[in-house]
Amino acid sequence: MRSHGHCLRRRRSLHIAVAILGLAAACSRADDGADRGPPPRVNSETPVEDDSAQCKDRISPTTSVPASTRRRMKSAMIYSVVGSGSFWFISGKSERWRALVSAEPGHPGQYRGKFPVWIDRPGPVPKIEVELVANGRDAEAISGSASATPTLSGLPGPVPMSVAFPRPGCWTIRLTDGVEASQITVSAGL
């Protein structure tokens, strides 16, 4: 026959196990994808309405992603994109691209952003162009820089991309392979 203390220890262990399982279930429900929103969306460009206006970097995704691309993105839990063809900027839950930009620590007036992209073809990462949008006829051409390296899964798939903006302004980020291209407009430090 078991002692009363043994039963209390087993009951306490059972309560702790149930509490841990309940917490794990609650956490997994919070991240199980039920709240991920609609299937991937796309738009070929986020336009700047005119040179003198403040930068228009609102994310305007659409739903015209090809079915095969949408399935691959969905399997990677990507649901909101902007782009076309083989090149897609992953927008996540942000309303504006500027939400992905922060000041560069130790470098006043410089900014950096993380812009993940989806490359929907095998081969190398496309050329990445980062250009300041001209605000007037005499504006000098200023370029930012970007780096992107595919994950171990390779392409097609998601690619982390880091972009550096050397000064505040309205910028375009363009992915191109010379045949097709996708671009977005980003406000950095405005």
Q: For 102-153, give the DSSP string.
A: EE-TTSTT-EEEE--EEE-SSSSPPEEEEEEPP-STTPPP-B-EEEE---TT
For residue 156, whether the previous peptide bond is cis, meaning omega lies within 30 degrees of 0, is: yes
Total number of domains constituting the chain: 2
* Domain assignment present for 58: no
Q: Which domain holds residue 19?
A: 1-35
> CATH number, domain at 153?
2.60.40
Residue 57 has a pLDDT of: 92
Work out the pLDDT band at 5, boundaries 50, 70, 90: low
15: its two tokens: 């309560």
Same domain as 14, residue 106: no
Look at residue 48 and tell me if it is in a domain. no
Q: Yes or no: say if 117 and 148 are a contact pair by the CB < 8 Å rule.
A: yes
- Quick check: is 73 in a domain? yes
In this structure, the answer to whether residues 25 and 73 fall within a common structural domain is no
Identify whether 50 is part of a domain. Answer: no
pTM attached to this predicted model: 0.70
Residue 27: is its pLDDT beyond 50? no
Give the model's pLDDT for residue 148.
Answer: 95
In a domain, 59, yes or no: no
Residue 163 is assigned to a structural domain of this protein: yes
Average pLDDT, stretch 27-31? 32
Average pLDDT, the chain: 76
Same domain, 17 and 102: no
The reply to whether 75 and 144 lie within a common domain is yes
Could you tell me if 30 and 102 lie in one domain? no
pLDDT above 80 for 178: yes
Kindly state whether residues 112 and 172 are assigned to the same domain: yes
Over residues 48-92, the pLDDT tens digits come to 333 335 788 999 886 789 999 999 999 999 989 999 999 999 988
Rounded to 5 degrees, what angle do the CA atoms 173, 56, 49 make? Answer: 100
Residues 112 and 160 in one domain: yes
Residue 49 lies in a domain: no
Proportion of the chain above pLDDT 70, given as a percent: 68
Residue found by looking up tokens 């306490």 in the block: 12
Q: Look at residue 56 and tell me if it is in a domain.
A: no
